[in-house]
Amino acid sequence: MVSIINSVDTGHEDMIHDAEVDYYGLRLATCSSDNSVKVYDIRNGASALLDDLKGHFGPVWQIAWSHPKFGNLLASCSYDRRVIIWKETNRKWAKYYEYTNHDSSVNSVQFAPAEFGLILACGSSDGSISVLTFTPETNSWDAKKIQNAHAIGCNSVSWAPATTPLFNGNENEQQPLVKRLVSGGCDNLVKIWKEAGDQWVEESKLEVHSDWVRDVAWAPSVGIHRHTIASCSQDRRVVIWTSNDCVTWNSTILHLFDDVVWNVSWSLNGNILAVSGGDNRISLWSQNAEGTWQCISDMLSYQILSNVKTSVRSAIHSRNIGILAPCLQKATDPIQQLFVDKIREYKQKSNSGKSLVEPTPELERELKQELEKVAKQFGGDSGVDMTKFPELKFQDPVIDPINLEPSK
């Protein structure tokens, strides 16, 4: 199951599109259709607004923290075609650099691994990808652009890890560090890009998805000679790509979901994948000893998972954000999941849009009967004591997830 460890009232005046925790897990940044970026201190289970960053003139789609070795830097991208890098100095945030060389909405930003230096990748609806590199000697930024990376537009970019594998099959072979990117676009393609000299070249084109690719995520290195990428799409599928050489890739369909899948995000050690989509749910997936991917947790997606360092952009629809801790107690998951499903079912029976269904003896009796069936099925006590489930209340502390539209 997953438990709440903190809750943040962001104060945003419109839909939230991204929420990212910094390297040390001490600060949270959010961005919204209200054109703003907000930064909060979230230490010790509390939350305090540190700054409200104004500089964009359209919805802000995504944000990214840099590695702390470069200072406190935060990148944001927007529908206004701008990329802004913000810097904190003496507890005050201000514009550090602004990039305006895209012809359409900038949908994705991500800083490269710190081993490569201060580098930012940006994916745009104009079909191109920009790679911005900071040069300390000249205190300036250099921009290289991958033109026509994706027809119609690029929706997501993600960097390959910079670390060399601990085990590569040849102890005498020193693997060089190579800059690589993965991108996903409106041409239904996932593409691998490699830096070659002073330009970026397409290394691989991965074709499985049948609709727009909404997000891609390159998994952190786990010390073995294998690369892993997750991609998700409008076609409702999440695909896991694996390769030993970044040239030949094998694909595995993780799952066919009930709705469009907006976001995929790996845990820090790359063994848990978080998935969020248009069905207003977040699910956590892990690979078992036999190599099969299985769902280990599933819940409504109006909240985000912070301590596995996941972002569930496009799944956050509220001014309030719950920060959760994954407690993988698989035995109770079916009961918890049944409760969530029943509440959603009861809400859908409501005649009013966002009003909540009042608990009645009939509904509580029906729910208890269902719980008893599931408890018996999974080896539990056939008699369920409702007092052991304090969360079983017909209340939604944040929003009604039934009547919400995807964020983009």
* Residue 38 Cα distances to 50, 52, 55, 96, angstroms: 8, 5, 12, 16
Q: Is 303 helix (H, G, I), strand (E, B) or coil?
A: strand
Q: What is the pTM of this model?
A: 0.73
Residue 351 burial (10 A CB sphere; 0-12, 13-18, 19+): exposed
As a residue count, the chain comes to 408
Q: Are residues 88 and 197 both part of a single domain?
A: yes
357 falls within a domain: yes
What pLDDT is attached to residue 210? 96
Q: How far is the CA of 146 from the CAs of 33, 118, 161, 212, 365, in angstroms?
A: 28, 18, 20, 19, 60
49 against 352, higher pLDDT: 49
Strand ranges, E, within 234-367: 237-243, 250-256, 261-266, 272-277, 281-287, 293-300, 303-305, 320-326
Quick one: average pLDDT of 53-67?
A: 96
| First and final C-alpha spacing in the chain | 29
Whether residues 171 and 90 share a domain: the answer is yes
CATH of the domain at 17: 2.130.10.10
Instruction: Decide if 60 is inside a domain.
Output: yes
Is there a single domain that holds both residue 227 and residue 270?
A: yes
Find which of 17-26, 177-186, 297-306, 370-379 is predicted with most confidence, using mean pLDDT: 177-186
Is residue 408 assigned to a domain? no
Which of 322 and 300 is assigned the larger pLDDT?
Answer: 300
Give yes or no: residues 298 and 357 share one domain.
no
Distance CA 164, CA 157 (A): 21
Q: Are residues 58 and 113 in the same domain?
A: yes
Q: Do residues 48 and 6 share a domain?
A: yes
Report DSSP letters for 85-154, one per residue. EEEEETTEEEEEEEE---SS-EEEEEEPPGGG-SEEEEEETTS-EEEEEEETTTTEEEEEEETTSSSS-E
| 311, two tokens | 């972002």
pLDDT digits (tens, 9 = 90+) for 194-217: 999 999 999 999 999 999 999 999
Regarding whether 135 and 86 lie in a shared domain, the answer is yes
Beta bridge partners of 214: none
For residues 51-63, give the mean pLDDT: 95
- Checking if the pLDDT of 143 tops 80, the result is yes
Task: Please give the structure tokens belonging to residue 305.
Answer: 């998972």
Task: Provide the token pair at 394.
Answer: 């017909």
| pLDDT at residue 304 tops 50 | no
Q: How confident is the model at residue 363 (pLDDT cuts 50, 70, 90)?
A: low
Return the structure tokens found at 142: 């250099």
Chain segment 24-48, per-residue pLDDT in tens: 888 999 999 999 999 999 888 788 9
The C-alpha atoms of residue 394 and residue 360 are separated, in whole angstroms, by 10
Whether residue 323 is predicted with pLDDT greater than 60 in this model: the reply is: no
Residue where a domain stops, chosen among 302, 328, 354? 328
Structure confidence at residue 406 (pLDDT):
33
The two tokens of residue 330 are: 């698989």
Question: Are residues 135 and 177 part of one domain?
Answer: yes
Q: What is the mean pLDDT of residues 216-235?
A: 89
Q: What percent of the chain has pLDDT over 70?
A: 68
pLDDT level of residue 15 (50, 70, 90 thresholds): confident
In this predicted structure, what is the pLDDT of residue 34? 92
Cα-trace Rg, the chain: 22
Q: Are residues 242 and 377 in the same domain?
A: no
> How many folded domains does the chain comprise?
2
Which of 269, 303, 328 is where one domain is finished? 328
Q: 281 vs 89, 111, 289, 329, CA distance in Å?
A: 38, 27, 26, 18
Domain boundary among 328, 358, 381: 328
Out of 70-79, 281-290, 381-390, the most confident range is 70-79
What is the sign of the dihedral through the CA atoms of 243, 125, 65 and 42? Answer: negative
Whether 113 has a pLDDT exceeding 70, the answer reads yes
Distance of CA 155 to the CA centre of its chain: 13
Residue at 96: amino acid letter = Y
CA torsion sign, 162 to 163 to 169 to 174? positive
Residue 334 lies in a domain: no
User: Do residues 31 and 172 share a domain?
Assistant: yes
Q: Are residues 270 and 377 in the same domain?
A: no
Domain ranges, residue 254:
2-328
Q: Which residue has the tokens 């029906």?
A: 366
Q: What would the DSSP string read from start to end of 25-67?
A: S-EEEEEETTSEEEEEE-GGG--EEEEEEE--SS-EEEEEEPP
Read off the pLDDT band of 14 (50, 70, 90).
confident
Copy the structure tokens of residue 127: 């079909």
The percentage of the chain sitting over the pLDDT mark of 90, rounded to a whole number, equals 51
- Would residue 312 count as lying in a domain? yes
Residues 87 and 56 in one domain: yes
* pLDDT band, residue 330 (cuts 50/70/90): very low
pLDDT digits (tens, 9 = 90+) for 259-302: 999 999 998 888 899 999 888 888 999 988 888 999 988 876 44
